[in-house]
């Protein structure tokens, strides 16, 4: 009995090991990584060079659009997390982990940690491309740190949400469909056009959906502009999404692995 207890992996160590596993699996799927990275970059370039000249934002369009492109990239990256969780469920990998007495939270935390690392790299590359085509942030060191902290909070929250959707879906294909909402939400927000240019019936949703305060906060922090209470609203949304997702994923995991 003592040997069994000693052999049981700690939650942190298990999550660390499983995050490494997820990253190794990602490295063996370069086509999926390239697609998840290139699509947001291509969309940013399309908006900047095809539509930017026709959209009045009060500043250069690339300056306006970068925060939304970064969140769009994070959404595509999180979608792969949902597919990875659903794939593990379908192929019986989770059952093997359960036989090692690894709980649901460490298993999902491994997926989430890998998702955060992948998304930070991909959003960094999106920012690098934006700098190459004319984006010029004016933030202080404090502003950069605050923007990075908010971005990490957002990516962590949607990664937990994606893991939850992966548990909810019956197949990897369904998981990809469930994450469509995360990839769609940047469009009815202030990511690509000012909200006041949208139809009036859409203003209420665009003003109060989760991504708008995140985008407005990132834009203000990177450009050294007044942010008001947007960062606190954005953090509240991230905390709410993350906490609800963690709680719901624990319930779903227990039901799916009985």
Three-state SS string over 213-254 comes to: HHHHHHHHHHCCCCCCCHHHHHHHHHHHHHHHHHHHHHHHHH
How many Cβ atoms from other residues are within 10 Å of residue 232's Cβ? Answer: 12
The pLDDT score that the predictor gives to residue 10 is 64
Please choose, from the candidates 202, 206, 210, 204, the residue with its C-alpha nearest in 3D space to the C-alpha of residue 75.
Answer: 210
**What global pTM score does this model have?**
0.86
What gap in Å lies between CA 88 and CA 13, rounded to an integer?
A: 19
What mean pLDDT is reported for the chain? 83
Dihedral over Cα of 164, 165, 171, 176: its sign: negative
* Helices 61-91 and 104-132, axial angle in degrees (round to 10): 150
CA distances from 121 to 36, 81, 152, 249 (A): 12, 15, 11, 26
Q: pLDDT tens per residue, the chain (258 residues)?
A: 333 433 445 667 766 676 776 667 666 666 666 766 777 788 888 888 888 888 888 888 999 999 999 998 888 888 888 888 888 777 776 666 666 556 666 778 888 888 888 888 888 888 999 999 999 999 999 999 999 999 999 999 999 999 899 888 878 888 877 777 778 888 999 999 999 999 999 999 999 999 999 999 999 999 999 988 999 999 999 999 999 999 998 888 877 776
- Burial class of residue 57 (count of CB atoms within 10 Å of its CB; 0-12, 13-18, 19+): middle
Distance of CA 250 to the CA centre of its chain: 20
The pLDDT score that the predictor gives to residue 242 is 94
């Amino acid at each position: 009995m003592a040997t069994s207890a000693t052999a049981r992996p700690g939650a942190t160590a298990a999550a660390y090991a499983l995050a490494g596993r997820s990253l190794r699996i990602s490295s063996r799927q370069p086509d999926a990584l390239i697609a998840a990275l290139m699509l947001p970059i291509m969309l940013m370039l399309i908006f900047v060079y095809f539509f930017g000249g026709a959209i009045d934002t009060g500043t250069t369009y690339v300056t306006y659009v970068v925060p939304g492109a970064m969140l769009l990239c994070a959404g595509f990256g999180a979608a792969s997390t949902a597919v990875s969780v659903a794939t593990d469920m379908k192929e019986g990998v989770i059952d093997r982990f359960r036989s090692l007495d690894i709980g649901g939270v460490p298993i999902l935390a491994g997926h989430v940690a890998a998702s955060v690392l992948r998304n930070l790299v991909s959003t960094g590359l999106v920012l690098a491309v934006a700098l190459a085509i004319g984006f010029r942030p004016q933030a202080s060191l404090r502003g950069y740190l605050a923007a990075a902290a908010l971005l990490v909070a957002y990516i962590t929250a949607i990664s937990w949400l994606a893991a939850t959707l992966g548990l909810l879906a019956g197949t990897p294909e369904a998981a990809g469909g469930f994450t469509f909402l995360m990839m769609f939400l940047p469009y009815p927000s202030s990511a690509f056009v000012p909200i006041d240019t949208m139809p009036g019936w859409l203003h209420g949703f665009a003003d109060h959906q989760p991504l708008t305060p995140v985008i407005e906060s990132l834009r203000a922090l990177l450009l050294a502009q007044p942010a008001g209470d947007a960062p606190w609203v954005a953090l509240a949304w991230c905390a709410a999404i993350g906490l609800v997702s963690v709680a719901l994923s624990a319930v779903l995991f227990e039901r799916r692995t009985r």
